[in-house]
Amino acid sequence: MKLKIAVQKSGRLHDESLRLLKDCGISIDNGKDQLKAPAKNFPLEIYYLRNGDIPQYLKDGVVDCAIVGENLLVEKGDGITHMQPLGFSKCRVSIAVSKIFEYDSVQDLAGKRIATSYPVTLQKYLSEHGIEADLHIINGSVEIAPNIGLADAICDIVSSGSTLFKNNLKEVEVILQSEAVLAASPRIPEAAKAYLENLQFRIESVLKGRSSRYVLLNAPDEQLEQIIEILPGMKSPTVLPLAEKGWSSIHSVVPQDEFWEKIEALKAAGAEGILVCPIEKMVV
């Protein structure tokens, strides 16, 4: 029995998905153009699938789990369990209009033609605002629709916004914030659930490591209490006496998104010789 996991065959999610599995200590035999490959050191088999097909494979139980965009699950993945946000491939599903469109609010979309690859997500949003519009379902190159007179607006996935800019469009409404997630099939066999839990444990350890930094510093003993308040650590900081009397070494973990604030506060409190190291994995 092996855990069957689907990842995107090519595109935004592919490389980051494989990197995550590698960081989880899973080695995959991946020959060129393979659609299925086994792991060497974990009971796992990876399926390389078209992105849009992954939700149906999960629903049918062809695969047990997948690394897939949350936006795709909202659109096509009713009944599929979101196990874990993964922190990469962040994007949003947004409505955009021509730069010359005089847009004040979502009510301006009433009766308009909107081209989209996300009809379910868009219709839900419009219905919540009591708006009726004419939806044109397009797969690919949605941004060109207003320029050729096919639609008044579009609803599509947006990352940097550069594609909208190139097509003389402006983003006016954000419907959904999305990122890659680990998702589980509603039909996953009982025998595979233990492997999935093991995989999720490894993923959580990798993600915690990526989002944290290990900090080592020297501090005068009279400032220890103030510095420890800045660096709470996972439970509490490690404090070790230095050879020089009156000084101690403090070791702790800092969330990456608080890093610069903490460093500035530590320097102001008298910390010296601050070293910052990446954390490969963190098990708590």
Domain co-membership, 77 together with 190: yes
Confidence of residue 11 (pLDDT cuts 50, 70, 90): confident
Look at residue 161 in the predicted model and tell me its pLDDT.
87
Phi, psi of 122 (to 5 degrees): -65, -45
Contact (CB, 8 A) for 114 and 155: yes
pTM of the model: 0.86
- 78, part of any domain: yes
- 284, part of any domain: no
Domain that holds residue 27: 3-88+179-209
Closest CA to 95 of 149, 133, 53: 133
pLDDT tens figures, 234-244: 678 899 999 99
Using the predicted structure, report yes or no on whether residue 271 has a pLDDT greater than 80: yes
Closest CA to 202 of 62, 39, 31: 39
Confidence of residue 31 (pLDDT cuts 50, 70, 90): low
Look at residue 234 in the predicted model and tell me its pLDDT.
67
How far apart, in Å, are the Cα atoms of 164 and each of 99, 101, 133, 218, 273? 10, 14, 21, 50, 47
235 burial type by CB count under 10 A (0-12 exposed, 13-18 middle, 19+ buried): exposed
pLDDT tens figures, 211-253: 999 999 999 999 999 998 888 666 788 999 999 999 999 999 9
Closest CA to 6 of 41, 53, 71, 76: 53
Domain co-membership, 202 together with 274: no
Domain co-membership, 164 together with 236: no
Count up the domains in the chain and report the number.
3
User: At which of 209, 230, 255 does a domain end?
Assistant: 209
Task: Assign residue 242 the CATH number of its domain.
Answer: 3.30.70.120
Look at residue 233 in the predicted model and tell me its pLDDT.
62
- What's the rounded Cα separation, in Å, for the pair 102 and 91? 25
Domain co-membership, 199 together with 225: no
> What average pLDDT does this structure show over 142-161?
92
- 273, part of any domain: yes
